[in-house]
Amino acid sequence: MITDRISLNLIYIHLDQFQSNKGPINNIQISVKLKLESNTKTIHFSSLENLNEFINKFAPLTGVGNIACFPLRLFELKSFNTVIDYGESSSNKNTVINNERTFTTTSRNIDTANLDILNKVYVPAFLQVMDAFNNLTRTEYILDQNNYINCNYIQIYFEGQLSKVIELYKKYKNR
């Protein structure tokens, strides 16, 4: 659950910034990778508000001592739409897509500075979380015993693997 909160908040933080610059965001698509599974699934949210509700329910804010380490999931922003309002008579729907961790759009209504919020800020932060997630899940003992051990045990015996995840949690737990 610890990487759930981190990766979901990263998405929310950067989409909120994007929405502040360009207008309402909808049709948010996020991939979910569950630890120990090679495939991913995609979940959808109709708005940033729906995503926020999901985060608060699915990965609530807790203190470091109460963090649930398992199951570990990693959420990655895949695409979204934004509607740019041009006044009473027209608006324009624009799609932004994550293509191999580079966000792109075919719309001329979204400038480079807005894509930079995703490409230069979100993607590097996400890659840090993904690296910590992968390092934690690679430890064979943790993989074998994840149903029987708790986060405190992991923190004591596998401090190197978990310390980076906890550092990222402290950095990104709030929106």
The region of weakest confidence among 24-33, 34-43, 112-121 is 34-43
CA angle 10, 83, 47 (to 5 degrees): 45
**Average per-residue pLDDT in the chain?**
80
pLDDT attached to residue 92: 73
Instruction: Give the span between the Cα atoms of 128 and 171, in whole angstroms.
Output: 12
Name the token pair of 20.
């502040």
Amino acid at site 96: V
List CB contacts of 62: < 8 A, sequence separation 6 or more. 68
pLDDT attached to residue 15: 96
Name the token pair of 44.
């959808």
Question: pLDDT tens digits for 54-106?
Answer: 999 988 876 655 555 556 789 999 999 998 776 665 557 899 999 999 999 98
Burial grade of 108 (CB within 10 A; 0-12, 13-18, 19 or more) = exposed
- State yes or no: pLDDT of 145 exceeds 90: no
- Whole-model pTM? 0.80
pLDDT attached to residue 169: 65
Question: pLDDT tens digits for 22-35?
Answer: 889 999 999 999 86
- State yes or no: pLDDT of 154 exceeds 70: no
